[in-house]
Amino acid sequence: MQGGKSTALLQRRHNLLSIGKNVMVMTCSFDDRYGIGKVTSRIGPQCDAALYTAETVFELNDTFAEADELFIDEAQFLSPAQVHQIHKNLSTKEGMRVSCFGLRSDFQGNSFPGAATLLTLADELHEISTLCRCGAKATMNQRIASDGAPIRNGDVIEIGGDSRYRPVCSKCFY
């Protein structure tokens, strides 16, 4: 949360497009914070993105064949099976690089299943960090009520922005 993942994705996309690379961007179909099919940074930049759903099969076909780079935003929502498909079918394609941007854990401190699989299979890991309101490194995501009080229970997936979630350190999380 608020670490700049989407900003980093958009900057890398811009750099690659400027040297003539074919970049495909995907995001989950139910993230509608800034419009469906959009990857948007809090600081303004955005781009259109293809959508993935729970039913999306990631295999080398016409959808992915021309891409030099595939960026997947909100990758924590991929299923473990989809992560395995991406790893086997796309990241091994000659000339294609796949980069996934997402959270490691949910608001209860548990791993997202897709994120755990990504962490296991990734060739490289790049942590994008941010700060807790106390100034310490934020390592957790805290769901909050309208009055700012932490919410500890509820559905794991609830799309929301800064008014619904905040990055916190472990001390402030507990």
pLDDT, tens only, 75-109 = 999 999 999 999 999 988 888 899 999 999 999 99
Phi, psi of 138 (to 5 degrees): -80, 125
Instruction: Quote the pLDDT of residue 78.
Output: 96
Q: In sequence order, which residues have a C-beta less than 8 Å from that of residue 170 and are 6 or more positions away?
A: 139, 140
| Distance, CA of 1 to CA of 140 (rounded, Å) | 8
Residue 3 in tokens: 């670490």
Q: What is the mean pLDDT of the chain?
A: 89
CA distance 141 to 4: 14
pLDDT confidence tier of residue 172, bands split at 50, 70 and 90 = very high
Q: What is the mean pLDDT of residues 12-23?
A: 97
Q: What is the pLDDT of residue 153?
A: 83
Mean pLDDT to the nearest integer, 133-143: 94
Using DSSP bridges, classify how beta strands 97-101 and 69-73 pair: parallel, antiparallel or unpaired. parallel
Residue 101: predicted pLDDT: 95
Cβ(50)–Cβ(63) below 8 Å: yes
| This prediction's pTM | 0.87
Residue 16 CA to residue 98 CA, distance in Å, equals 13
CA separation for the pair 1, 162 (Å, rounded): 8
Would you state the pLDDT for residue 155? 79
The pLDDT of residue 64 is above 80: yes
> Would you state the pLDDT for residue 92?
86
Q: Please give the pLDDT value at position 46.
A: 84
- Given a contact cutoff of 8 angstroms between Cβ atoms, the answer to whether 163 and 113 are in contact is no
Q: Which residues are catalytic?
A: 74
Gap between the Cα atoms of 153 and 20, Å rounded = 47
* pLDDT tens, position by position, 29-51: 887 776 788 898 888 888 999 99
**Domain architecture of the chain: domains with CATH:** 5-128 (3.40.50.300), 131-173 (3.30.60.20)
